[in-house]
Amino acid sequence: MKEYFIHESSYIDENVQIGQGTKIWHFSHIQSGAVIGENCSLGQNVNVASNVLIGNGVKIQNNVSIYEGVELEDYVFCGPSMVFTNDLTPRAKYPKGCEGYKRTLLKEGATVGANATIVCGNTVGHWAMIAAGAVVTKDVPDYALMLGVPAKQIGWVCECGLRLTETLECQSCGKKYVLREKKLTLR
């Protein structure tokens, strides 16, 4: 008996690992070599390419493709129709294959808003938040709030998701942070 749910319209290749409690909804495709953790939710029309690693508690909304070279740590949130890339200079006539893919890492708790784009070769830090429609073209610090095209940091966010005040305190959960050498950490 399977300890996860896969909608009958989805296709799961051989040699895939899916963790307990994970749900894969309509018209999704999980390709060979992919590893998906426990208690994840993959919405409608999600494609997970070969050899992709997805941690525990990850939520991937509708119409997201996670290409080879992308890794999502625990509790990452991918908003509807957000985009990953894996090749900085793609050409249909001159494919590079997986050797040419750039690694992209979303660290624990990172959130990417609807229709945002993460250009390959970058890391999105722990608990960072990428606004809807933003285009990430460089590494993103932990807890950074990023907005625009290209994405620029406009502030900091708490682990719970609320924008931090100037004193770096969360008005919702009460967590306090400290900024040292341009790095935000929990106090």
Per-residue pLDDT at 133: 98
Closest CA to 5 of 41, 48, 51: 41
Query: What pLDDT band is residue 2 in, cutting at 50, 70 and 90?
Result: confident
| pTM of the model as a whole | 0.97
In 24-41, which positions are buried (b, 16+ CB within 10 angstroms) versus exposed (e)? bbeebbbbebbbbbbbbb
Per-residue pLDDT at 1: 64
pLDDT tens column, 8-38: 999 999 999 999 999 999 999 999 999 999 9
pLDDT tens column, 54-65: 999 999 999 999
């722990």: which residue's tokens? 126
pLDDT tens column, 85-102: 999 999 999 998 898 999
Overall average pLDDT of the 101-125 stretch: 98
Overall average pLDDT of the 97-119 stretch: 96
